[in-house]
C-alpha cells in the first residue's frame, strides 16, 4: 500500500498534484505516454477515444490563457466532455464555499477536476475531499506547485537533448515566488540531471534554497557557463509584497537574457520560458524569438503531456492507456 495520495494502492497515478513524491519511473512513463500521442511524421497531436464518455471540469479560480486552453484541447483530443467553470460568475462569487461547489459538481457525475487556485494546497484539499472515483489534476496552486508545466518542460528538454543525466540546467529569475520553479527543480532532480543551477538576486531566492538540490549563483554570466538548458522565469510582481528589486531596467541589465549573455552558455543550449513573457524585463525579444528558443514548442507540447497525465490518472476509472 502507498501513503501517497497521488497514487492508487498499486502505485498507479490517480491524482497529479505535485512532482514531489513521484519517482523517475512514473515521470518517464508520463513522458513516454505523451510521446505516443504525437504523430512522428508531422508532430501533430492525435485524437484518441480514451476518455469518451468521461466528463472533465476545468475549475480555474485564477486567470489563465495557455494552461486553460491546453487542458481543454487535451481533454477534447482524448474525446472527453469538457466544462470550463467561470469562477468569477459562479456561485463561489456569491458566497458558496469551495467544498459546496465540489459537492454540486460531483452530483453532476463528473470524473475529473483540473484545478487552478491562488491558495497553495487547494488541489490537495480537493483531492482529499472529493468522491473516490474522481481524479484531481493541479493546474497551479499559489506558490506551491505547477506539475504539468514541469512535465511539459521535461518533455521539451528530452525532445532536444535526450539523456537527462548529462545535462546542466539553469533556472533564472524569480525563484522565490515561482510555483513553476519548485516543480521544475523537483522534476529535473528526479530525472537525474547532472546539475540544477539557480541564478537570481538574493532577494528572489527562498531561504535555504540549496536544500532543494540546486547550486546557487548570483552572477548571470558566471552561472551560464557549461549550461545546456536555460529556463527563464518572469518576475511575479503580483506576489511581491515589498520592493525586492531596484527596478525593471536594472534587473534586465543584471539578469535579463540577451544574445550576448546567451553566448556564455553552450552553443547548442536551448532557451525556455513558461510564459507569460515580459520582453525587455527577463528576456530580450531577439532571444525569445531566436533560433535557440523552444518557447512555442513548450506550448504545443503542453497538449500531449496533459493528455498523458489525464489518461493515466483515469486508469482507475476503467481507462486503458
| Mean pLDDT by groups of 10 residues along the chain of 321 residues | 79 96 97 95 91 96 88 97 78 67 91 93 93 95 94 98 97 94 97 98 93 96 97 74 68 95 98 94 97 96 97 88 86
Q: How crowded is residue 195: how many other Cβ atoms within 10 Å of its Cβ? A: 16
**Cβ neighbours around 107 below 10 Å, total:** 9
The predicted structure's pLDDT at residue 254:
93
Coil, helix or strand for 131?
coil
From CA 18, how far away is CA 116, in angstroms rounded?
A: 13
Long-range Cβ contact pairs of 119-128 (< 8 A, separation 24 or more): 120/144, 120/145, 120/179, 122/61, 122/98, 123/15, 123/17, 124/5, 124/17, 124/18, 125/98, 126/59, 126/98, 126/102, 127/5, 127/6, 127/15, 127/17, 128/5
Distance in angstroms (rounded) separating the CA atoms of residues 302 and 74: 8
The pLDDT value recorded for residue 127 is 95
Please count the other Cβ atoms lying within 10 Å of the Cβ belonging to residue 53. Answer: 10
Q: What are phi and psi of 232, to 5 degrees?
A: -90, 145
How confident is the model at residue 218, as a pLDDT?
96
Number of neighbours of residue 64 by Cβ within 10 angstroms = 15
Q: Quote the Cα angle for 199-202-204, to 5°.
A: 75
- In order of their start, the domains of the chain are 24-146+300-317 (3.40.50.1370), 147-294 (3.40.50.1370)
Report the helix count and the strand count for the chain, using DSSP H and E.
Answer: 11, 9
pLDDT computed for residue 316 by the predictor:
78
pLDDT (0 to 100) of residue 239: 44
The C-alpha torsion from 143 through 148 and 152 to 153, rounded to 10°, is 20
Hey, which residues does 277 pair with through a beta bridge? none
Q: Determine the Cα–Cα distance for residues 193 and 158; give it in Å rounded to an integer.
A: 11
pLDDT value of residue 295: 97
pTM across the whole model: 0.93
Name residues whose C-beta falls within 8 Å of residue 34's C-beta, 6 or more positions apart in sequence: 151, 155, 301, 304, 305, 307, 308
- Give the C-alpha separation, 122 to 142, whole Å: 8
Amino acid at each position: 500500500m502507498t501513503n501517497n495520495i497521488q497514487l492508487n494502492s498499486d502505485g498507479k497515478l490517480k491524482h497529479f498534484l505535485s512532482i514531489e513524491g513521484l519517482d523517475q519511473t512514473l515521470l518517464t512513463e508520463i513522458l513516454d505516454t505523451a510521446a505516443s500521442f504525437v504523430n512522428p511524421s508531422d508532430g501533430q497531436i492525435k485524437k484518441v477515444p480514451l476518455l469518451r464518455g468521461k466528463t472533465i471540469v476545468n475549475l480555474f479560480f485564477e486567470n489563465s490563457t495557455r494552461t486553460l486552453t491546453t487542458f481543454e484541447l487535451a481533454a477534447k483530443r482524448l474525446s472527453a466532455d469538457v466544462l470550463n467553470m467561470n469562477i468569477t460568475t459562479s456561485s463561489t462569487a456569491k458566497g458558496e464555499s469551495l467544498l459546496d461547489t465540489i459537492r454540486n459538481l460531483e452530483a453532476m457525475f463528473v470524473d475529473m477536476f483540473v484545478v487552478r487556485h491562488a491558495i497553495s494546497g487547494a488541489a490537495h484539499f480537493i483531492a482529499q475531499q472529493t468522491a473516490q472515483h474522481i481524479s484531481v489534476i493541479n493546474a497551479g496552486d499559489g506558490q506551491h506547485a505547477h506539475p504539468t508545466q514541469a512535465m511539459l518542460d521535461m518533455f521539451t528538454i528530452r525532445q532536444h537533448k535526450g539523456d537527462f543525466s548529462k545535462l546542466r540546467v539553469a533556472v533564472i529569475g524569480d525563484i522565490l515566488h515561482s510555483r513553476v520553479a519548485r516543480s521544475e527543480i523537483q522534476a529535473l532532480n528526479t530525472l537525474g540531471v547532472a546539475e540544477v543551477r539557480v541564478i537570481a538576486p538574493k532577494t528572489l531566492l527562498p531561504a535555504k534554497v540549496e536544500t532543494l538540490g540546486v547550486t546557487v549563483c548570483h552572477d548571470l554570466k558566471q552561472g551560464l557557463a557549461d549550461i545546456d538548458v536555460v529556463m527563464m522565469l518572469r518576475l511575479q510582481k503580483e506576489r511581491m509584497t515589498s520592493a525586492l528589486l531596484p527596478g525593471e531596467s536594472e534587473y534586465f541589465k543584471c539578469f535579463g537574457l540577451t544574445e550576448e549573455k546567451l553566448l556564455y552558455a553552450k552553443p547548442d543550449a536551448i532557451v525556455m520560458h513558461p510564459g507569460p513573457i515580459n520582453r525587455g524585463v527577463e528576456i530580450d525579444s531577439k532571444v525569445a524569438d531566436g533560433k535557440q528558443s523552444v518557447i512555442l514548442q513548450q506550448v504545443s507540447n503542453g497538449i500531449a503531456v496533459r493528455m498523458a497525465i489525464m489518461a493515466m490518472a483515469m486508469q482507475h476509472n476503467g481507462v486503458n492507456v
